[in-house]
Amino acid sequence: MKIVKLSIAIVLLLSSIAFIEDDSKQFEISKNLEIFTNIYKELNTHYVDDVDPSRLMRVGIEAMLETLDPYTNYISEADIEGYRYMSEGKYDGIGARVRKMGDYVTVVEPYEGGPAIDAGLRAGDMIIAVEGKSAKDKKTAEVEEILKGFPGTEVNITIKRPGEDTERNVAVKRDEVAVKNVPYQGMLDDKTGYVVLTTFTNNAGKNISQAIKKLKEEYPGMQNLVFDLRNNGGGYLREAVSISNLFISKGETVVTTKGKVRDRDRGFKTSSPPEFPDLPVVVLTNKWTASASEIVSGVLQDLDRGVILGTRTYGKGLVQNTVDLEYNSKLKLTTAKYYIPSGRCIQSVSYKDGEPVDIPDNKRAVFKTRAGRKVLDGGGIIPDVMVDEVGEEPIVKFLVDNNLIFYYATKYHQEHEEIGSAKDFAFTDFAEFVAFVESKNIDFKTDTETKLDELLETAETDQLTDLVGAKVKEMKEKIAQEKADDLEQNKATIISLIEKEIVSRYYYQTGRTEKSLRNDAEIKLALEILNDQERYQNYFKR
């Protein structure tokens, strides 16, 4: 009896402690909200300069959310079209990707079938003015906000096309722009099909299913599949389950979500027999493969159903839900983490500048696939076949970051009316490209050169220039020669990037994909694996 009474007392004590803690938390929330409101009012009333209340509040909200993970965001009414594009793959606007380059926002890529192409806009067109107002020094987001709008309405844009002396006035009729989540499917050889998925928006599972079926109908000899998830940042969880279900058995647990509120934890299982249960598949990943993409690649790895090839994925194992707020705004907040069949969570534990910090393998927990292979949690999916990252060489990053390949492709497009088929196009003017880069007089400075410049400055301060100056000059001359050699050593990678950029000027997204397949070292390796079934099966052994 004493034990029963003691147990009851303990339960009551714990309940009262929980109540006190909860009550204390509510008091802290109320207290700090009151403080925040009073500060907001004081600033608005007494600050020496005029204050924009909306901007002030927006900064406060974003600063608060920055203390959490990178995916908990406030979406204002002005951001709704961008959110709609990210979640649904569609938005109302002119149908073009734009980016700030120099003083002006520039058309980077018109979307196939979109209003921008119908109006005659091209990649490389600088947006000088919108509706008669100068766009100089405007941010990308500012210009994008004006370009978006209701279908059927017009927006008048003044553009400057490189190579032309006069400006052009272009009227673009806005429309609902739907960007395909499966922009391309085709055959890599007589037996191997290829499908690319860019985002897990609505109907991603249905579209992947249709793409594979179409390939099998048109090419009865198709026996293998390369499934490209590179640069796919994810999307709807339900579409990840749907795509996994194409390859794995009915009733398999694909992913489990676990959060603070245990009653809301959920498990997601496949609901139908697989459409392609025996189709050998290699999944391509890279460091921008994230979220739902990591679920699919992780599920196929955990269940020993597909070979993962590429580089380690991003490491986003968080679930977001969107809450509607007042005035047509939203809060996208993280509510849970997801766990794939082996029991592991792929979420990175820390971030720097919005990107996940790499976690050493010896600090990651070990799990096992269905066949007993070791896999690790935290920090993304480690592929079964690791490859080197393409384009990470300093000279290649320099060319890309300074838009030199983009500018050259624009120039090439102006000088060549046609290039033949996308697949067969070959760029042979590398010497001309090198001359073009040199003509821009943009200094490519290595980290070593920066350190040497700092050394010279320190030597000058310490009056030691005569002692170290000659040695530093000699070293910089050697580095300059090595930089010139870097262009030649990375010629194949650079030419591949140039070819894709040039082809996209004529054949847009479809052409870029078709051309990339011819030069892609990872696809060539995937073909080697799939065409050697003994080698393919060996990846599933312990």
Residue 172: predicted pLDDT: 94
Length of the chain (residues): 542
**b (16+ CB within 10 A) / e for 371-406:** eebebbbbbbbbbbeeeeebeebebbebbeebbbbb
Q: Nearest 5 degrees, angle CA 246-CA 224-CA 215?
A: 70
C-alpha dihedral over 397, 401, 402, 403, to 10 degrees? 100
Residue 542: predicted pLDDT: 74
Instruction: Give CA–CA dist 56/35, Å, rounded.
Output: 15
Contact at 8 Å (CB) between 411 and 505?
Answer: no
Strands 104-110 and 96-101: antiparallel
- Give the CA count within 13 Å in the CB-facing half-sphere of 35: 6
Strands 154-160 and 168-173: antiparallel
Contacts of 338 (CB under 8 A, 6+ apart): 237, 255, 256, 257, 258, 295, 317, 318, 319, 345
Burial of 466 (0-12, 13-18, 19+ CB in 10 A): exposed
Q: Which pTM does this prediction carry?
A: 0.76
User: Which residue in 209, 242, 244, 291 is the catalytic one?
Assistant: 291
Q: What's 382's DSSP letter?
A: P
User: Which residue in 175, 302, 384, 520 is the catalytic one?
Assistant: 302
Contact at 8 Å (CB) between 410 and 505?
Answer: yes
pLDDT in tens, the chain (542 residues): 544 444 454 444 445 544 555 667 777 778 778 888 888 788 878 777 787 877 787 787 778 777 776 767 776 655 555 544 455 555 678 989 899 999 999 999 998 888 999 999 999 999 999 999 999 999 888 888 888 888 889 999 999 999 899 999 999 999 887 778 898 999 999 999 999 999 898 899 999 999 999 999 999 999 999 999 999 988 888 999 999 999 999 999 999 988 877 877 889 999 999 999 999 999 999 999 998 999 999 999 999 999 999 999 988 888 777 777 776 777 777 778 889 999 999 887 666 665 667 777 787 889 999 999 999 988 889 999 999 877 668 888 889 989 999 999 999 999 999 999 998 999 999 999 989 988 887 776 666 666 666 776 776 666 666 666 667 666 766 666 666 677 888 898 899 999 999 999 999 988 988 888 888 999 999 999 999 999 999 999 87
Contacts of 13 (CB under 8 A, 6+ apart): none
User: Which residue in 180, 316, 500, 515 is the catalytic one?
Assistant: 316
Residue 376: closest CA among 357, 348, 355, 350: 348
Residue 6: predicted pLDDT: 42
Three-state SS for 3-54 is HHHHHHHHHHHHHHHHHHHHHHHHHHHHHHHHHHHHHHHHHHHHCCCCCCHH
Contact at 8 Å (CB) between 347 and 332?
Answer: no
Residue 351: predicted pLDDT: 64
Residue 10: predicted pLDDT: 47
Residue 23: predicted pLDDT: 65
DSSP H helices, 190-248, are 204-218, 237-245
**Active-site residue flag, 316:** yes
List of long-range contacts for 367-371, beta carbons under 8 Å, 24+ apart: 367/302, 367/342, 367/343, 368/342, 369/301, 369/302, 369/303, 369/304, 369/342, 369/540, 370/302, 370/303, 370/304, 370/341, 371/304, 371/540, 371/541, 371/542
**Active-site residue flag, 302:** yes
> Hey, what domains does the chain have and what are their CATH numbers?
25-67 (no CATH), 90-178 (2.30.42.10), 184-389 (3.90.226.10), 394-522 (no CATH)
Residue 452: predicted pLDDT: 66
**Can you tell me whether residue 327 is helix, strand or coil?**
coil
Count CB-CB contacts under 10 A for residue 329.
17
Residue 286: predicted pLDDT: 94
Q: Two tokens at 525?
A: 């390796």
